Amino acid sequence: MNIDQSIVAIILLLTLVLFIWGRYRHDVVAGIALSLCVLTGLVTTDQVFSGFGHPAVITVAAVLVISEALRRSGVVDMLAQKILPYTEHPFSHIFVLTAVVTIASAFMNNVGALALMLPVALATCAKHNRSPAMILMPLAFGSILGGMTTAIGTPPNIIIAMIRADVSGEAFNMFDYSPVGAAVAIAGVLFITLIGWRLIPAARLSRSSPEQLFAISDYLTEVIITEDSSLVDQPIEKIEGLTDSSIEIIGLAHRHGKTMSLKHGYLLKAGDILIVQGDPSEIQPLLEKNDLELITSADKKFAELTRGDLVLVEGVIKAGSILEGKGVPFLRRRSGSSLALIGLARQGQRIRRRLRRQTFQAGDILLLQGAADNVDEQISVLGMIPLAERNLNIGQPKKIAVALTIFALAIALGVAKILPLAIVFVLAVLVYVLLDILPVLNLYDAIDWPVIILLAAMIPVGGAIESTGLTQILASTVLGVTEGLPVYLIVGLVLVVTMFLSDIINNAATAVVMAPLAYGIANGLQLNPDPFFMAVAVGASCAFLTPIGHQSNTLVLGPGGYQFGDYWRMGLPLEFLIVILAVPLILLVWPA
C-alpha cells in the first residue's frame, strides 16, 4: 500500500467512525472527509464541487421535489381516503397501510411517503382503539422496502445506477430493480403482516387510548405556583389529583436549568416552578384543582391549554430538521415567537432538565401552542410532521390527473431512454411549477439538503478511493478471504456487509463506499458486476435493526412509543428472510 492509499484508507476509516459515532450530522462528516482529501491532495481543487453536478445528485433532488408535487396535488391523500374502510380488522389494518406506503415509496421519497401516511395511521389507530406501536414500525419498514423496487425509490439506487453508467457506459433503467426489489418487498410486507408485528414487545402493543392519537405518557412540562394559589406555604403532598392520574412531579426548577428533587414535606412557595411528566390530557385538571398556571417556552402564562384562536398541535422532529441540535431560543426566534413549547416527549430517556435548556433531537415529539391560522405552515417550515388528527385534503380530480400524467410521462421518457432520468425529472419539476402544482416560493423546501450535501461531498471522496487503487486492494483482500467459495456466497457476503453498514451509517454513504468495492470484486472474479451491484442496492435498503439506520425508523420512534432495542426483534428475522430470498433471485435475474 503506497502513501496515497494509506492516507485515503485512514480518511475512510475516520469517516466510518464519525458516521457510526453520530456526534455530527452525516453531511458534516462527508464535508470533513472531502476537506481532508483536498488538503492531502487526493482530490484536486477543480474536482471539489464536481459532485453537485453529478446526475445522481440532481436526480435525488428532483425526485424529492416531485414527491412534494404529488403530495400537494392530493394523489396520496386520495389513496389514503380510499383505504380507510379497510382498517377494521388488525390484519387488514397493518397490511393495507403497509402496502400503500410501500407502493408510494417506490415512486417518491420513502420518508415523504411515510410522513404522508403517518397521520392517517395514527387517526385510524385512535378510531379502532389500537396501539400505534402495532402499525407504525410496519409502516416505517414498508417505506424502506418500497424504495428498493425502482431506480428512484431511494438515493442508493440512483447512486448505483450512475456508478454502473461510469464503469459500463449504461445506467440501470427505471424498473431494472423491480424483479428482485418487488419480490423482496412483497415478501417483506407479507412477513410484517403475518408474523413481524407480533414480535414487537407486548408492552408496546398493549398501550392504546381513544383520547390520544398515540400512546405518549411522558411529556415534560412546567407549571408555576401563583401568588394567589392555595398551595402557597403548603407541603407538596397537598397537591390534588396526583394519586388519581399518571402525572408525576419529578422536581423543582433550579436557576441553573437543572431539576432539584423535592423532599417529603417541602413547603411550596409562590413562584416555584414544578417540573412534571405525564399525559397532556391530565394536565388541565391538575391546573384547575390547584390554582396552577402552565409555563410556555415564550415565558407567557396561560390559564388553559388553549384559548381564543390558539390551538395545540403535536409534531415529531424529522432527521435533518432545522430544530435538530437546537433549543427553545432557536424555536422562538425561528417561529417569530408565534409558537410556544408546552411539552416535550423523548422516548426511552428520562429528562432531568428544564424545557428551555433542552436540545432537540430527531424523533422528539413537541407539544406546541400557536395561532390556528398559521400553525401548520410553521410546523412544516421547522421540519416537523404533525401528529394531530387532520382532515384529508383531497385534491381536485383534474390536478390529481395532471400530476400523475406528468409523472408518468417523465418515467416513460426515462424508461425509453429518450432522455436521462436526471433531465426528465428536472423538466417535470418545471412543468409542475408552470401549472401551479408547485409554488415557486416553496420550490426547494422539499429537498433534503443534508442528503444532497452528503452525496455531493462523498462522490469526489469515492473517486479518490477508486483512483488511488484502494478499492482494488480491498477487493483483492475480499477475494483472498473468499477464494474457492461459490458465487452465491460471495454475493451474499456483499449483501450482508452492505446491510450491516446501512444499519449504522447513512444508506447513501453506504452505497458510495460499497458499490465500487462490489465492482472490484466482480472484476477480480471476471464476472458480470450487475449481481454485485444489485446486492449493494438491496443491502443499502435494509436498515431495519436500529432507529438510527434510516430516517423512517427515527420518525416512528416517539409516536410508536418504541425503545431502541425494539427494532431488531422484527428487523433481524426480516433481514434473514431478505438474504435468503434476494441472493438466488439476484443470480436468477442477473446471472454472474
Please report the domains of the chain, with CATH numbers, ordered by start residue.
3-29+60-206+424-429+440-564+571-589 (no CATH), 219-386 (3.30.70.1450)
- What's the pLDDT at 391? 42
Query: In terms of Cα–Cα distance, which of 277, 315, 272, 307 is closest to 291?
Result: 272
Q: Cell numbers at residue 215, please?
A: 400512546
With H, G, I as helix, E, B as strand and everything else as coil, classify residue 221: strand
Amino acid at 41: G
pLDDT of residue 529: 94
Closest of 592, 444, 427, 416 to residue 518, by C-alpha: 592
> Against a cut of 0.75, is the pTM above it?
no
Closest CA to 454 of 29, 20, 72, 8: 29
Q: pLDDT at position 177, please?
A: 94
Nearest 5°: the CA angle 98, 102, 104 is: 120
Q: What is the pLDDT of residue 74?
A: 74
- SS3 call for 477: helix
Cα–Cα separations (whole angstroms), residue 543 to 231, 300, 504, 549, 570: 52, 43, 8, 5, 12
- Rounded Cα gap, residues 124 and 186, in angstroms: 23
* Strands 248-253, 292-295: pairing kind: unpaired
Long-range contacts of 259-265 (CB under 8 A, 24+ apart): 259/352, 259/353, 259/354, 262/236, 264/236, 264/237, 265/235, 265/236, 265/237
- The segments of the chain whose pLDDT lies below 70 read 76-77, 79-81, 207-219, 241-246, 254-259, 278-282, 284, 296-310, 347-354, 388-398
Q: What are phi and psi of 180, to 5 degrees?
A: -80, -50
3-state secondary structure of 499: helix
Give the model confidence (pLDDT) of 362-372 as tens digits: 888 888 878 77
Which class for 353: exposed (0-12), middle (13-18), buried (19 or more C-beta within 10 A)? middle
Give the alpha-carbon dihedral of 170, 176, 181, 183, to 10 degrees.
-150
pLDDT score for 2 = 86
The residues with which 293 forms a beta bridge, in sequence order, are 224
Pair 537, 529: CB distance under 8 Å = no
**pLDDT at position 211:** 41
| Torsion sign across C-alpha atoms 119, 124, 127, 132 | negative
DSSP collapsed to 3 states, 408-439: HHHHHHHHCCCCCHHHHHHHHHHHHHHCCCCC
Q: What is the DSSP string of 337-395?
A: T-EEEEEEE-TT----B-GGG----TT-EEEEEEETTTHHHHHHHTTEEE-S-----PP
Picking from 164, 186, 188, 191, the residue whose alpha carbon sits closest to that of residue 176 is 164
